[in-house]
Chain A
């Protein structure tokens, strides 16, 4: 029997736009003794930047239903997306209040679900760093990755900090440590902590401002001469990979920074092939990075 079991929350973007991240995560998990238990019928988290911006009550009722699914599994939630994490962790927090819970349960009446407040939400970075631990991860590594990586942590992994487990907002090193554990180097770059620009409904409705933020980060990463960008949020990932093509078109630039989600990089270090990690499915070619580490798609 596996040691670490979680309710696996997929969200929207991973299963429906970036399934390579789902595939990579499903492959690396068993090596770490993680069992991903499906949350059957889970919906959009719903997205904090959009749905919560439009109607907080609807947002809270839908997130309550998702949390209820995890409670029915009897397992805490593991989430890969910072947006979903932000919604689920805020949902868990808001629904601790008995009055709020009663009000939301009234709305849920008729769906067959009720929320009790028995589970919590953990981001992949938290599960890896705190539940699995660096030593256990290190044991699974058979092929160290020697590359210069720009780490992008993303906003909602850390903020609002009062309902996060980290105790810090700036100088957060967990993801850097997880990347360096694989043999890579985390390279410092200007505006490392800055938002990718995708959240808050910007990527859908104010694309020029959204892309300008990403552009600034691409420029800084290029100056820092990195081999790739590593992220722990699929929405940031989408912004950096798909958005990089859009930035190049909009701004006449030619940024070529390969973008990897952490489990994809981890998978390579565990001996999976680039194809198994879905690296042939990216919008910006990952080939230069693979060449650097002595692999090819």
Chain B
């Protein structure tokens, strides 16, 4: 006799695959689990990340399991899986979509939150945060600050305006004036 295996229904998000379809990953349900994505993945070659498994879990609605999986964050977004998928599924976009959901659930790495704080405060994800970079620019015959947000305080306000409107500050639980570089 074989014991019945029953997956606890309350843990299943039956709408996840539909949501992904609506979000533009419209071929995800056509996945045949061939594993081409896993085979193409340069990260999967050196880690436990299995792209096929992430996609399968998403399709089955194992929401919590996928969103809390640290392997979701070892994809470099190189796009090789998307190019090679025989069912033309945008696998990389699927991973990005799941990462968005993971962030909404609070699964965000502190380093990534720190990058986001920099974007909110300066408009650059990698800003000039040390005089040595301005000095280097000057030595090379460039203006000490580039003609980006760094030279236009009004432009930084525009970025902050966008971020407030999309709620990105709330998403990362940004605390104005109370952030330090150690986040």
Contacts and interface: CB of A to CB of B under 8 A. Distances in A.
Given A110-B161, A213-B76, A54 B141 contact: no
Contacts of A204: 111-112, 114-115
A235 B99 CA distance: 22
Interface string B155-176: 1001101110110100110000
Given A42-B149, A65-B162, A54 B78 contact: no
Given A58-B166, A61-B162, A205 B155 contact: no
B34 interface: no
Interface in A103-140: 107-108, 110-113
Nearest to A86: B77
Contact of B133 (A16, A46, A202): A16
Given A13-B126, A58-B163, A278-B140, A113 B158 contact: yes
A50 B148 contact: no
A67 to B, nearest CB: 13
A16 B155 contact: no
A42 B148 CA distance: 5
Interface in B134-156: 136-137, 140-142, 146-152, 154-155
B128 interface: yes
Contacts of B171: 54-55, 58
B140 A19 contact: yes
Nearest to A235: B126
A121 to B, nearest CB: 17
B152 A40 contact: yes
B125 A51 contact: yes
A213 B46 CA distance: 8
B73 A205 contact: yes
Interface residues of B, number: 60
A155 interface: yes
Interface in B28-79: 42-43, 46-47, 73-79
Interface in B118-139: 119, 123-128, 133, 136-137
B124 A12 contact: yes
B73 A111 contact: no
Interface string A180-218: 000000000000001101111110111001101100000
Contact of B76 (A13, A22, A199): A199
B109 interface: yes
A213 B151 CA distance: 36
Interface string B87-124: 00010100011011001000011011011100100011
A62 B149 CA distance: 12
Contacts of A161: 83
A160 B79 contact: yes
B140 A43 contact: no
Nearest to A62: B162
B56 to A, nearest CB: 21
B14 interface: no
B61 to A, nearest CB: 21
Contacts of A294: none
A65 B73 contact: no
A281 B73 CA distance: 32
B67 to A, nearest CB: 13
Given A20-B140, A111-B158, 5 more contacts: A16-B133, A19-B137, A39-B148, A107-B162, A110-B165
14 contacts: A12-B124, A12-B127, A16-B126, A42-B155, A51-B119, A52-B96, A53-B100, A54-B168, A55-B100, A61-B162, A107-B162, A155-B78, A205-B109, A209-B43
